[in-house]
Amino acid sequence: MSRDVLAYELLPPERVALVDLLDRLLAGGVVLTGELVLSIADVDLVHISLRTLIASVDELQGAP
Distance (Å, whole) CA 32 – CA 51: 6
End-to-end CA separation in angstroms for the chain: 46
Answer whether residue 49 shows pLDDT above 90.
yes
- Kindly report the pTM of this predicted structure: 0.45
The stretch 32-51 carries a mean pLDDT of 93
The stretch 26-31 carries a mean pLDDT of 80
Answer whether residue 29 shows pLDDT above 90.
no
Average pLDDT over the chain, rounded to an integer = 77
Distance (Å, whole) CA 54 – CA 63: 16
